[in-house]
Amino acid sequence: MAETASKKKSAAASGSAGTAGADRPRLLLMDGHSLAYRAFFALPAENFTTATGQPTNAIYGFASMLANTLRDEAPTHFAVAFDVSRKTWRSEEFTEYKANRSKTPDEFKGQVELIGELLDAMNAQRFAVDGFEADDVIATLVTQAEAAGFEVLIVTGDRDSFQLVSENVTVLYPTKGVSELTRYTPEKVEEKYGLTPAQYPDFAALRGDPSDNLPGIPGVGEKTAAKWINQFGSFAELVERADEVKGKAGQNFRDHLDAVKLNRRLTEMVRDVELPKAATDLERRPYDRTAVALVLDTLEIRNPSLRERLLAVDPGAAEAEPAVVTEDVELDATVVGAGELAPWLDEHGSAVLGVATVDTWQLGVGTVTEVALAAAAGAACWFDPSTLDEADENAFARWICDPHRPKVMHNAKGLMRVFGEHGWEVAGVSMDTALAAYLVKPGRRSFALDTLSMEYLGRELVPASAADGQLAFGSDDEAEAQALMVQARTVLDLGTAFGERLPEVRATELLKDIELPTSALLARLERHGIAADRAHLESMEQMFAGAVQQAVKEAHDAVGHEFNLGSPKQLQEVLFGELALPRTKKTKTGFTTDADALAWLATQTDHELPVIMLRHREQAKLRVTVEGLIKSIAEDGRIHTTFNQTVAATGRLSSTEPNLQNIPVRTDEGRAIRRGFVVGEGYESLMTADYSQIELRVMAHLSQDEGLIEAFTSGEDLHTTVASSVFGVERSAVDAEMRRKIKAMSYGLAYGLSAFGLSQQLNIDAGEARALMDTYFERFGGVRDYLRHAVDEARATGYTETMLGRRRYLPDLNSDNRQRREMAERMALNAPIQGTAADIVKIAMLGVDRALTEAKLSSRMLLQVHDEIVLEIFPGEREAVEKIVRREMAGAAKLGAPLDVSVGVGRDWESAAH
């Protein structure tokens, strides 16, 4: 079995086969395009995409292979070669060269350029030469390196590179995605093909190469080609003695001799390409570690394992500034026992304190098991809440609820929620470091404390087990206490850092007036939860399970035999093999069978299977949704979702465990599921209130388009009024299709939809979609001018802003990568509109909650989903609550197109709809 490079550790140091000695230079060469393309197909693009829509699967896979190979091979010299284009000396000599290759997938475009940016940050040399392929560059560097006494390793997925193999040159060929490399030495090449590496181009010329569109000889396969080369010694000798080749194969050879000679010329690699640097100039250099981190952050590649592997093979790692670890934080640390917390708070509680906890929260029940507090002067304490005496507990309760005692927390909502379980009300939170980081850089993926600590403080938070006890007690428990006190101090220090950063992005007031109060409100909503009708949801789950089984039966009947509907491979065989339906988009694993593909197939054929498959998937998804809701019902009979403030870069809230935004709003099944959310004991009804067309009203206000504002203020149906203007017909002549197109257009503009996107959504020609947009802009020029200005201004400043000043930074607006730039442009259109709508919803929630408290009403807010607020109404309070809700929501912002609020009441979420 072949040795694999992924299992071979530090070959240079170990002196394994092919290594001439520790002092011998070792050159590693990589074929960039070949490996990036393999990585692209090895990893699903949908799992590796940035917030701006840039796929990163090829980049991630390439970087992972790069890190592993640099680690395992320990080269002294390194370079990567890339193709420039398909136009090379080979394509000029043979116009059909590689002409059979399919169009480069859109998701792959741009990723090679970004790999180049990563290599530049690593100070790695990369080559790309017009008119030549990466193979030729590699062959040239191999020739130079061998002459200079190097050992050479080539990582490539191109078998033509086997001609370069020698006692000094090994090819590492990917045999399993990008995770396993097989070592091709001279012995391995001979074992595989029965030929020497020098004979490989002769063999390849006879065999032909379908991947390069080089024709083979009819009736001549690899065995015959290898036999001829061994028999005659070389291709040149074979051609010279062509008449001696017997049989039909020999005649075919002679008939195709010119093509085979051309193959031989094209297969031979060029070894004297003019390059800006020689092999001896490729010594590895230390990274620009800041630049590497920036590239990875920009691409949102935050896998700690990959980062660690890349940084571990930095030639300058030994000289790099070591991270400051927790042991370097100076603390006057105290583990307080019973009767000791109250005195500690008397001494230090007036200062700003950082707070860290160890706690749990599951199904609406939480508990705090450890608390640490830390002051800037160095004092810190740790305690177990279960060991507090009455005086300690009273002192802590007074301190935590005192609005004049400032506290810095990380994810304050989580702490408020779980502290409430102990009867501790939290006030005086002056800084939430997670929310502050979100306002400073809303597009980032991770707001974890350890990540922020490294980025803003240069301090590494080590796990508790590694905390070297400054307390010197020597027990694991005390190490845990030490680590938590350091976390509290880190939270405090981060609070100081963000206190300086927030004014720079004009977000201080946003944190103080919007995000922190919203956080406190959401903590209460999460503790309240919403009552669930378990029997109804279980009945729904059974109904969906039955529908899934029925769809399986119908699919089997439609095909005439059983097959696994959940297996893409079996479904492909049925759709495109047995049924011979029109083929969809080609992927590495076959023709795609995703929802879009099935929907397209349903329009292209009368066969019922695509429609059945769509129904099967829809019902299966609904079943999973309902199963998740049932599992989320707590002992109190209520579902306690978790709201997220830092997920959507626009400022919108989302929810998880369960995701209540995942429930369909406009389908019969979705409405039936919503009937499972009911009024709780002691309350008389649920009330829902939401904004009508809030994004479009915001767009009308920001654009100040008089026609669009008039459409809102006329009191008529918005989309009918706009359609009348766009299509130039009376309102009475606007049909359902016209209204549908205009509705899609209006919302599409608010979400940065392109003409192509609109054409896909409406299933119309892209030209028709463009014409529709042009006509729309003729009628509503203010919208056109606003959208154009929004992008131009964002490109000049680097960010967009909501009405309240919430920023969204979009560095890709000036990117040379077209895909990234266009995605950023769509975000520049969308972020101010969606972000302003999100701000308005938060202001409305805070206003409603404040008014309910001031009116001393017992009704309470339970949920915020999309633009909707759900409240639980106490008996006799309906009219008062509705008055408050309408007043506070309508008055949350003054827009040119006034906010319109709809209110409904019922015993369950669906019947309370309006």
Which tokens in the block code for residue 907?
Answer: 């015993």
902 alpha carbon, distance to own chain's centre: 35
Q: What pLDDT, on the 0 to 100 scale, is given for residue 109?
A: 72
Specify the 3-state DSSP secondary structure of 338.
coil
First to last CA, the chain: 69
Specify the 3-state DSSP secondary structure of 21.
coil
Q: What pLDDT, on the 0 to 100 scale, is given for residue 407?
A: 96
What is the bridge-based pairing of β-strands 365-375 and 429-432?
A: unpaired
Residue listed under structure tokens 């927390």: 409
Instruction: Classify residue 544 as left (phi > 0), alpha (psi -120 to 50) or beta.
Output: alpha
Residue listed under structure tokens 């500690």: 344
Spatial contact of 414 and 361, defined as CB atoms under 8 Å apart = yes
Count Cα neighbours of 392 within 13 Å in the Cβ-side half-sphere: 16
Average predicted confidence (pLDDT) for the chain: 85
- Kindly report the pTM of this predicted structure: 0.71
Does residue 300 or residue 3 have the better pLDDT? 300
CATH superfamily of 5-192+270-312: 5'-nuclease (3.40.50.1010)
Segment 541-551, tens digit of pLDDT = 999 999 999 99
The residues pairing with 79 across neighbouring beta strands, listed in sequence order, are: 29, 125
The residues pairing with 373 across neighbouring beta strands, listed in sequence order, are: 355, 381
Q: What pLDDT, on the 0 to 100 scale, is given for residue 15?
A: 36
What count of other Cβ atoms lies within 10 Å of the Cβ of residue 563?
16
What average pLDDT does this structure show over 698-706? 92
Which residue, among 115, 145, 151, 141, has the nearest Cα to 21 in the 3D structure? 151
Q: What pLDDT, on the 0 to 100 scale, is given for residue 209?
A: 64
Which distant-in-sequence residues (6+ apart) come within 8 Å of 472 by Cβ?
Answer: none
Specify the 3-state DSSP secondary structure of 367.
strand
Which tokens in the block code for residue 224?
Answer: 């015959």
Q: Lowest mean pLDDT: which of 130-139, 180-189, 221-230, 827-836?
A: 221-230
Residue listed under structure tokens 């049932």: 630
Q: What pLDDT, on the 0 to 100 scale, is given for residue 419?
A: 93
Q: What pLDDT, on the 0 to 100 scale, is given for residue 454?
A: 82
Which tokens in the block code for residue 365?
Answer: 């029940």
* Cis amide prior to 658 (ω within 30 degrees): yes
What is the bridge-based pairing of β-strands 332-335 and 379-383?
A: parallel
Q: How many angstroms separate the CA atoms of 46 and 31, rounded?
A: 25
Which residue, among 29, 72, 276, has the nearest Cα to 158 in the 3D structure? 29
What is the bridge-based pairing of β-strands 353-362 and 407-409?
A: parallel
Spatial contact of 659 and 639, defined as CB atoms under 8 Å apart = no
Query: What's the pLDDT band for 256 if we cut at 50, 70, 90?
Result: low
The DSSP-derived string for 281-337 is G-B-----HHHHHHHHHHTT---HHHHHHHHHT-TTGGGSPPPEEGGGS--EEEE--
Q: How many angstroms separate the CA atoms of 274 and 900, rounded?
A: 69
Q: What pLDDT, on the 0 to 100 scale, is given for residue 322?
A: 45
Which residue, among 718, 691, 680, 697, has the nearest Cα to 859 in the 3D structure? 680
Q: How many angstroms separate the CA atoms of 515 and 646, rounded?
A: 10
Does residue 229 or residue 839 have the better pLDDT? 839
What average pLDDT does this structure show over 245-267? 68
Q: How many angstroms separate the CA atoms of 828 and 469, rounded?
A: 50
Q: Which of the listed ranges 41-50, 63-72, 759-768 does the model predict with the highest average pLDDT?
A: 63-72
CATH for the 544-639 domain, from 1.20.1060.10, 1.10.10.10, 3.30.465.10, 1.10.569.10: 1.20.1060.10
Specify the 3-state DSSP secondary structure of 19.
coil
Q: For the packed helices 32-42 and 134-147, what is the interaxial angle rounded to 10 degrees?
A: 120
The domain defined by 324-529 folds into Nucleotidyltransferase; domain 5 (3.30.420)
Q: What pLDDT, on the 0 to 100 scale, is given for residue 54?
A: 77
Query: What's the pLDDT band for 19 if we cut at 50, 70, 90?
Result: very low
The domain defined by 695-832 folds into DNA polymerase; domain 1 (1.10.150)
Spatial contact of 71 and 313, defined as CB atoms under 8 Å apart = yes
The residues pairing with 29 across neighbouring beta strands, listed in sequence order, are: 79, 154
Which tokens in the block code for residue 189?
Answer: 């090449």
The residues pairing with 530 across neighbouring beta strands, listed in sequence order, are: 639
Residue 40: pLDDT over 90: no
What is the bridge-based pairing of β-strands 332-335 and 169-176?
A: unpaired
Q: What pLDDT, on the 0 to 100 scale, is given for residue 467?
A: 39
The H-assigned helical ranges of 692-765 are 694-703, 706-713, 718-727, 736-750, 755-762
Spatial contact of 909 and 709, defined as CB atoms under 8 Å apart = no
Q: Which amino acid makes up residue 738?
A: M
Segment 573-624, tens digit of pLDDT = 999 999 999 888 877 667 888 888 898 898 888 899 999 999 999 999 999 9
What count of other Cβ atoms lies within 10 Å of the Cβ of residue 609?
22
Specify the 3-state DSSP secondary structure of 234.
coil
The answer to whether domain 324-529 and domain 695-832 are alike in fold is no
Segment 371-429, tens digit of pLDDT = 999 999 899 999 999 999 999 999 999 999 999 999 999 999 999 999 998 989 999 99
758 alpha carbon, distance to own chain's centre: 24
Report domain extents, the chain. 5-192+270-312, 324-529, 544-639, 695-832
Q: How many angstroms separate the CA atoms of 450 and 407, rounded?
A: 19
Segment 839-880, tens digit of pLDDT = 999 999 999 999 999 999 999 999 999 889 999 999 999 999
Radius of gyration of the chain measured on its C-alpha atoms:
33
* Percentage above 70 pLDDT, the chain: 85
Spatial contact of 204 and 263, defined as CB atoms under 8 Å apart = yes
Q: What pLDDT, on the 0 to 100 scale, is given for residue 466?
A: 37
Q: How many angstroms separate the CA atoms of 9 and 26, rounded?
A: 15
Residue 468: pLDDT over 50: no
Longest CA–CA span in the chain (Å) reads 107
For the four alpha carbons of 625, 628, 632 and 633, in that order, the dihedral sign comes to positive
Q: Which of the listed ranges 20-24, 87-91, 323-327, 696-700 does the model predict with the highest average pLDDT?
A: 696-700
Fill in the DSSP letter of residue 348: H
What count of other Cβ atoms lies within 10 Å of the Cβ of residue 852?
22
Q: Lowest mean pLDDT: which of 9-18, 215-224, 753-762?
A: 9-18
For residue 675, what is the enclosing H or E element? Answer: none
Q: What pLDDT, on the 0 to 100 scale, is given for residue 309?
A: 85
Segment 120-169, tens digit of pLDDT = 999 999 998 888 888 889 999 999 999 999 999 999 988 888 888 999 99
Q: How many angstroms separate the CA atoms of 79 and 904, rounded?
A: 66
Which residue, among 664, 584, 581, has the nearest Cα to 618 in the 3D structure? 664
Q: What pLDDT, on the 0 to 100 scale, is given for residue 5?
A: 39
